[in-house]
Structure 1
Amino acid sequence: MRKIGLVALGLVLFATAVNAQKKIQLDKIVAVIGNSIVLQSDIEGMNAQYLYQNQHADKCALVQDQVSTKILVQQAAIDSIEVKDEEIDADIDKRVRYSVQRAGGQDRLEQALGRSILQYKEEIRPDVREMLVAQKMRAHITEKLNTTPQDVRDYFRRIPVDSLPSFNKEVEVAEIVIDPKLNKEEKDIYRQKAQDLLDRIKKGEDFAALATLYSQDPGTAPQGGDDGFINRDMYVKEFTSWAFRLKAGEYSPVFESADYGYFFLQVLERRGEQVHTRHVLIAPPTTPESLDRAKGHADTVYNLLDKNRKNDFFAAAAGYYSDSKETKYNGGFIMNADGVEQRSTYIPTDKLDPQIEAVVDTMKVGGISKPTLFTDRQGKKSYRIFYLKSVTDAHKANLEQDFAKLKDYATSDKVNRTIADWFNKKRKDTYIRIDPQYGDGCPVLKSWSTPEQKAIMQADIVPGATK
C-alpha cells in the first residue's frame, strides 16, 4: 500500500550493528576533517554492509565517501541547512521496516542486532541525520544548475567517436488496462471480515495478535500491523485521511481503498506532522467471475479501437477506459523513468516487462493487440490492450535521435563536475589529515590531506573532535 519504494534503501541495519560492536575494539582514527573524525570501525562497518549483501567494497572509496560527508555536513552548518526531526524519524522507520522484512520478523532482527528496535533506532539516529544533511547540502550545491541545448551539443562533441554510447532497440507503446472488479455482494464478504476483526479488538482482543494472524499487508503484518511514524505522503489518501484525523488511541471505521482493499487503523501517538499508526488490511481476491467480466469489457473496448484506428482515438480511449493510474492520463503510454531530468516514451525493449515484450514483439508499428491476460509482480491480474507507436533499432548515439538521453548524460556530467569543483575548493579551506594507510595507499585520496605546512592540528587524537 506504500507509495514509496523500500528496496533501494541503502542502510543494512545488521551490518551497522556489527559496526557498533567493532567500535569497542577498533579506535584507530582514519581521518580528521576539521573538528570531526572518521574511525576505522566506521569503514569496517560500511564494508560489512557490502559483505552482508555479497558485494565487494573498495575501502579507499569508503574513506573518500566518509570524508566527503563530513565536509558537506560542516558546510551545511555554516549555511544553516538542516533536516527536521520528522524527516529523520521517517527515514529511520522506513529502514527498520525494510530490515524487519529482510530478517523475517522483528524478533529475528532484534536477535541479530543484539538490542531492541527502539534502542537501535536511537543508536543509528546520529548517522542517519548526518547522511540526510549531506544529501541536502549536495542538492543545495547543484540546485541552480541548468542544462541548455548548447550544453548538450558541447557534451556530445567531447565524446570520442569510438566511445559513443550504443542504445538498444526501443519502442513507444501505449496500453489500456482493464482490472477485474468485484461487485457489491462479493466485496461485502471482505468488508465484513474486516469489521468482525475490528469488533473483536474493541471487545478486548489484542490488536497486534490479530493483525499478525489476519492482516494481508506483508510489510506490516509481521510487526502486528505497526507502521511506525508516518508522513502524509507515505500512504494512499484514504489511509492518510483517517490517520491524521484521529486522536491518539482512537480507531477508524472500516474503509475501502480501491487499490488495496479494506482497512481499519488505530492511531497510537501524534508527533508534529507525523503520526504513529497500526492497521489491518483485508484484500479481496480476484474471482473467476470478476475476470470473466473484465474480459468481456476488454473485448468491447478492443472492438471500438479496431473500428477507429486513429492514434488520437487510442489515447482518448485510454483516458476513458483504462484502470492504470500510471498511464491513462498520458495517452496510455508506458514511460521510461530512467532519465535524470525527464521521463521518456522511448523504452529499451530489455527494460520492458517480459510479458509486454512478448506481445509487442509480434506487432507491427501502428498495430493494436487483442486483450491479453497479465499478472504483475504482486500477483494482480488484468487484461491489457497495446498500441505500438514506433520502433527504433539499436544504434550509436546521435543528436537527432537521442537528444533527450544525451541531455540526461550532460546533466549528470555537469552535476558531477560541479560537485568535484566544490570539493576541490572546499578542501583548501578545511583541515584534512588522512592516515597514511589510506592517504598514501589510495590514489583517490593522495591529494586530499592538507599540506603539512598548512596543518592546524598535529596530534593523533584531536581534542574536541566529533564523529
Structure 2
Amino acid sequence: MKNLSKIIILILTVCSIQVSAQEKLIDRVVATVGSGVILQSEVEAQYAQYLLNRGEPAADIKCRFLQQLIITKLLAQQAAIDSVEVTESEVDDDLNSRMRGMIAQGGGQERVEAFLKRSLLQYKEEMRPVVAEQLKAQKFQRSLIQKITITPLEVKKYFESLAENEVPNISTQVEIGEITIEPELTKDEKNVFKERAEKYRQQVLDGTDFGTVARFYSEDKESAKRGGELGFAPRTNYVKEFSAMAFKLKEGEISPVFETEYGFHFLQVLQRRGEDVNVRHVLILTQPTQASLDRAKTKLDSVLNLVKTGKMSFSAAASRYSDNKETKFTGGMVIDPRSENRSTIIAVENLEKEVFVAIDPIQPGEYTESYQYQDPRTGKIGYKFNYLKTRIPPHRASLEQDFATIQFYAQEDKTRRKMSEWFEKKTKTTFVQINEDFGSCDELKIFSKSNLEDVAVNGN
C-alpha cells in the first residue's frame, strides 16, 4: 500500500492543478482510461503551464503530469456515474481565475497570448470542457472526503501507533484574542470619493467607452485589466448592495453610483444567463483620512482602558465594540484558519508578523498596546490590540495537550488510507493503458495490473 499512499497525496490536491493549452501540434493518445483518452497535447499543455510559471525544463516532469491527468480522469468518470454536475457559472469562475493567474504570472496578457499562440478568449473556450471535468472530479472527491469522520478513540489509536521518531515536535503555540476598530468616514469625507465615481460615470454617459474608463480609473485592479468585466456569477457572489443593483438592471443599462463596504461603484449589465449575470464595473475605493484614523485609535484606546481596568471583560468588549466580524462572536478569540475543528491554538509561525511582534514581549493574561494594521486580504487599514491568553512552549506532542493537532494528523492519515482503498478498487476495475513512450515513468507503474496485484499480495 505504500506506493498507493504516495500518489494519494496527488489525489487530494489534483483539482488545484493549473492547466494550460498548447497548440495541438501532436494529437495522439498517450493513455486510455476507461471510456476516455488522454492526448499528448494535454500533457504538453501541463508542461507549458509549468514553464510559464518559471519551472525548470525537465522531461520527467511530464510523467507526473500524465499521472495527474489519469487521476483526474478516474475521479471524473466516477463523478459522471454518480451524476455529479457543475454549473456554467462555476466553470466560468474557475476559468476567469485561471486567466487572472496566468496574466499575473506570465507578465501580462500580450505575453501570455504570444506564448500560447492564441487569444485568451480562444484559450478559454478550448479549456472549458477540461475545466468542467476537473471541477466534477473535485466535487466528487470532496463528497468522498466529507464522509470520512474520525472518533476520539481512533485519534488515540493513531497516536499510540506512532513510533517514537514519528511523534511530532510542536513549536511554540499561543491563544490570542483581538479587538479591532476600523476608521469611519464622515459624509463629507465620503463625498470626495463619491464625486470621483460620479465624474467617471458621466464620462461613460457622454460617450467614452466603459471598458476604457474602467482600465484607466477603476481601483478594482484585477477587473480593470479586463475593462471592468467580472464574468458570469450568481447573486450570492457579491455583497448585497452590488447584487441588488446587478440583478435589477436590464442588459446594457448603466447603474447610478452606489456604495458598498469597499467604496463607490457604478456598473453595466453585459448579459444574463439564467440566474447568473455578467457585469462590468468601476470601483473607487474609500480610503481612510488621517482624521478618521485618529478617531478610530481614540475609540480603541478607550476600549483598551475599559478592559485593562477591569470595567469590562475582554469577551464582552469584543462582542460590543470590535469590527472584526470573524472574532466578534467568539469572545474576541482568533480561530486558526488552518484548523478544520476551529481550534484557537495557533503555532506562532502561522501568525501575521505584526501580531507576533506585538504579543512577543507580553505575558499570558496581558494586553498589547493599540497598533495600526492592514488586512492582507482586503487591504483595509485600522487599529487593533491583542490579548494573550495562553503561550505553550515547544514540546513533543502529547494526546492530553495537543489533541486537536493529533486529530488533524489522524484525519489526514485516515483520509489517505480510505482514498487509497477507493483508488485501488477503481484502478482494478477500470481499463488503463499507457503509451510505451511513458514506460520508464516510475509514477505510472502503479497503473499496471501486475503491479497492483503485487501491491495487494506483498503490501509493498
TM range, smaller chain? 0.7 to 0.9
Aligned pair partner of 2:302 in 300, 303, 306: 300
- Aligned partner letter, 2:380: K
User: Could you tell me which residue of structure 1 aligns to residue 402 of structure 2?
Assistant: 402
**Conserved in 2, the CA contact under 8 Å of 1:263 and 1:282?**
yes
Distance 1:212 1:447, change over 3 A: closer
User: Could you tell me which residue of structure 1 aligns to residue 139 of structure 2?
Assistant: 136
Cα deviation 1:213-237 (Å, max 9, x = unaligned): 1111111112211111123333322
**Conserved in 2, the CA contact under 8 Å of 1:105 and 1:222?**
no
- State the secondary structure of the residue aligned to 1:223: coil
Q: 1:61-460 to 2 correspondence within 5 Å? A: 61-103=64-106, 105-258=108-261, 260-308=262-310, 313-339=313-339, 341-377=340-376, 379-439=379-439, 441-450=440-449
Give how far 1:431 is off: 1.2
CA-atom RMSD in angstroms: 2.4
**Conserved in 2, the CA contact under 8 Å of 1:103 and 1:109?**
yes
Give how far 1:62 is off: 2.4
Q: Residues of 2 paired with 1:11 and 1:147: CA distance?
A: 28
**Conserved in 1, the CA contact under 8 Å of 2:254 and 2:269?**
yes
Give how far 1:43 is off: 2.4
Distance 1:99 1:239, change over 3 A: farther
Distance 1:272 1:98, change over 3 A: farther
**Conserved in 1, the CA contact under 8 Å of 2:372 and 2:383?**
yes
- State the secondary structure of the residue aligned to 1:391: strand
Give how far 1:199 is off: 2.3
**Conserved in 2, the CA contact under 8 Å of 1:28 and 1:39?**
yes
Distance 1:282 1:327, change over 3 A: same
**Conserved in 2, the CA contact under 8 Å of 1:175 and 1:332?**
yes
Q: Residues of 2 paired with 1:108 and 1:245: CA distance?
A: 38
Q: Residues of 2 paired with 1:398 and 1:48: CA distance?
A: 46
User: Could you tell me which residue of structure 2 aligns to residue 41 of structure 1?
Assistant: 41
- Aligned partner letter, 2:272: R
- State the secondary structure of the residue aligned to 2:336: coil
Distance 1:246 1:102, change over 3 A: farther
Cα deviation 1:133-166 (Å, max 9, x = unaligned): 1112222333322211111112112211111111
- Aligned partner letter, 2:157: D
Q: Residues of 1 paired with 2:86 and 2:375: CA distance?
A: 37
Distance 1:278 1:123, change over 3 A: same
Distance 1:309 1:351, change over 3 A: farther
Identity %: 42
Distance 1:51 1:116, change over 3 A: closer
Cα deviation 1:40-98 (Å, max 9, x = unaligned): 33223223323332346744332222212222222222222222223212221222233
Give how far 1:451 is off: 5.5
**Conserved in 2, the CA contact under 8 Å of 1:248 and 1:267?**
yes
**Conserved in 1, the CA contact under 8 Å of 2:336 and 2:344?**
yes
Q: Residues of 2 paired with 1:188 and 1:235: CA distance?
A: 23
Distance 1:104 1:444, change over 3 A: closer
Q: Residues of 2 paired with 1:63 and 1:12: CA distance?
A: 13
Give how far 1:127 is off: 0.9
Normalising by structure 2, what TM-score? 0.88
- State the secondary structure of the residue aligned to 2:237: coil
- State the secondary structure of the residue aligned to 2:427: helix
- State the secondary structure of the residue aligned to 2:282: strand
- State the secondary structure of the residue aligned to 2:192: helix
- Aligned partner letter, 2:359: V
- State the secondary structure of the residue aligned to 1:305: helix
Cα deviation 1:179-236 (Å, max 9, x = unaligned): 2221111111211211222222123221111111111111111221111112333332
The gaps in structure 1 that reach 5 residues or longer are 1-7, 455-467
**Conserved in 2, the CA contact under 8 Å of 1:175 and 1:327?**
yes
Distance 1:369 1:222, change over 3 A: same
Q: Quick check: 72-81 or 277-286, which moved more?
A: 72-81
Q: Residues of 2 paired with 1:255 and 1:49: CA distance?
A: 40
The gaps in structure 2 that reach 5 residues or longer are 1-13, 454-460
Normalising by structure 1, what TM-score? 0.87
- Aligned partner letter, 1:334: V
Distance 1:443 1:117, change over 3 A: closer
